Amino acid sequence: MKKGLLAIVFPFILLLSGCFSDPVQDDLLNYVNKEMKQPGKLEAAAITAYESETGANYQDDQKLYDVLTKKVIPTYNEFIQELNSVKIETDELKEIHKIYVEGANIQYKAFVKIKQALEAQDPAMIQEANNMLADAKAHILEYKTKLNQLAKEHKVKFN
């Protein structure tokens, strides 16, 4: 009799344990630990290359142009392709990821505009590209803020 009862109760316990899982939590963990690994590496490579020739590291237009055409733009384009292929299950995370994609697209267009500005030697285009970079940065900050908020709501901690 006890074995028969256990055989009936055990499947219900398994069934109930599935009811307590959090699909957003599962999606967040998969997103951060798996889906975003490769895009993250590509983005880091592109941004590091860009920063190696801008700001305090700026040397001359030709070096910036070369790093944009040979490293930054192709790598960032690959990053966007990877970003667009990320698999997301929940609507909450899809909305947040969409903000990131928008910011990444703006940033990519800014890199292309800087390249065009260097070709044309047009300071006004550089300023326009810098405004685009600021807009992209705002999108990416909003993405990070909302991602962290969603993680907190679903008890996920990032390292």
* pLDDT per residue as tens digits for the range 97-115: 999 999 999 999 999 999 9
Q: Is residue 95 part of a domain?
A: yes
Q: Give the C-alpha separation, 42 to 71, whole Å.
A: 11
Confidence category of residue 159, pLDDT binned at 50, 70, 90:
confident
Nearest to 80 by CA among 112, 43, 53: 43
Reply yes or no on whether the pLDDT at 80 is more than 90.
yes
Q: What is the mean pLDDT of residues 35-40?
A: 97
- Written as one string, the DSSP assignment of 53-84 is TSGGG---HHHHHHHIIIIIHHHHHHHHHHHH
Q: Is residue 7 part of a domain?
A: no
Provide the pLDDT for residue 4.
Answer: 52
Provide the pLDDT for residue 19.
Answer: 52
Q: Is residue 17 part of a domain?
A: no
Reply yes or no on whether the pLDDT at 12 is more than 90.
no
Task: DSSP letter for 155, please.
Answer: T
Q: Provide the token pair at 104.
A: 């990444």
- 41 close to 75: Cβ distance less than 8 angstroms: no
CATH code for the domain of 38 = 1.20.120
| Length of the chain, in residues | 159
Provide the pLDDT for residue 20.
Answer: 63
Write down the mean pLDDT value for the chain: 91
Provide the pLDDT for residue 63.
Answer: 98
If DSSP codes are grouped into helix, strand and coil, which group holds residue 60?
Answer: coil
Question: Side-chain half-sphere of 25: how many Cα atoms within 13 Å?
Answer: 9
Q: Provide the token pair at 78.
A: 């690959």
Bigger pLDDT: 9 vs 39: 39
Q: Is residue 3 part of a domain?
A: no
Q: Is residue 13 part of a domain?
A: no
Total structural domains in the chain? 1
Provide the pLDDT for residue 6.
Answer: 45
State phi, psi for 155 to the nearest 5 degrees: 55, 45
Provide the pLDDT for residue 21.
Answer: 85
Percentage of the chain lying above the pLDDT 70 cut: 87
For residue 142, the enclosing domain spans: 22-153
Provide the pLDDT for residue 1.
Answer: 47
Q: Is residue 55 part of a domain?
A: yes
Q: Is residue 34 part of a domain?
A: yes
Provide the pLDDT for residue 158.
Answer: 80
72 CB burial (10 A radius; 0-12, 13-18, 19+): buried
Q: Is residue 44 part of a domain?
A: yes
